[in-house]
Every structure is written in structure tokens, then in C-alpha cells.
Amino acid sequence: MSEKEEQEFAVPQNSTESEAADTEKQDEGTISKRGSNDTKVGLTLRILVAAYVLYLAYGLVEGFGETTGSERIFIGAAIVIFLAAGGAILILSAKKLIRKEYRDADESAEGTEDEKER
């Protein structure tokens, strides 16, 4: 390879580090924006859905003893997935609701009015 070709393919190390830092900043911005859109009603609905998913897992646990063979594997996997997902959603949503990490209805209405004015 000639020097000219090597220069074309060479990637400076500093640029990749700065790109990684820029990507992290963008990710942090999207996370904070996403978290600010939670409302009290939305969090309450998430808690209700999580409770229903946990109820479905309970129903699967009750019927687990009656199954045989390969059905046990699939139902067991479903139980684990339902418990993990329902529990995680319930805990995270309840935590946000208790810590009051949500937007009030007044703030949500003001946000839409500001967007309309633009």
C-alpha cells in the first residue's frame, strides 16, 4: 500500500474518542427527555398493567403442575419472563410515582401550548 492509500484509510484516534463522547451526550439527552414525558396517569396505568402481567404469571404457576413433557419447559420460561417483566415494570413505575418523578397535568398542558406557538 502506498502512503496516500494509508492516509485515506487511517482513522485518527482522537476522532473516535470525541465521537464516543458525543454519542454518550446524545444518549443522556434522550433518556432525560423520555423520563420527563411520564405522567401520573401513565405511571398508574403501567402499575395496573404490571399487576395484570403478574396475575397471568400466577395463573401459569397454578397450572404448571398439570403439564408434562416439553410443555413444562415453555410454561416455565413464560412464568420467568412474566415475573421478571411484570416485577420490573411494577417496581420502576412505583418508584417514579413515589418519588414524584413525573409531569403534572398542568405542565403537560403548558408544554403542548408552547409547541403550538412555535
- 83, 54 in Cβ contact below 8 A? yes
Range of the domain at 90: 39-100
Confidence of residue 81 (pLDDT cuts 50, 70, 90): very high
pLDDT value of residue 49: 97
- In this structure, is residue 106 part of a structural domain? no
Euclidean distance between CA atoms 12 and 34, whole angstroms: 34
Euclidean distance between CA atoms 79 and 57, whole angstroms: 5
pLDDT value of residue 35: 47
Q: What is the DSSP letter of 68?
A: -
- In this structure, is residue 108 part of a structural domain? no
Q: Residues, the chain, total?
A: 118
pLDDT value of residue 106: 73
C-alpha cell at 18: 470525541
Domain tally, the chain: 1
- In this structure, is residue 23 part of a structural domain? no
Euclidean distance between CA atoms 95 and 78, whole angstroms: 25
- In this structure, is residue 30 part of a structural domain? no
- In this structure, is residue 34 part of a structural domain? no
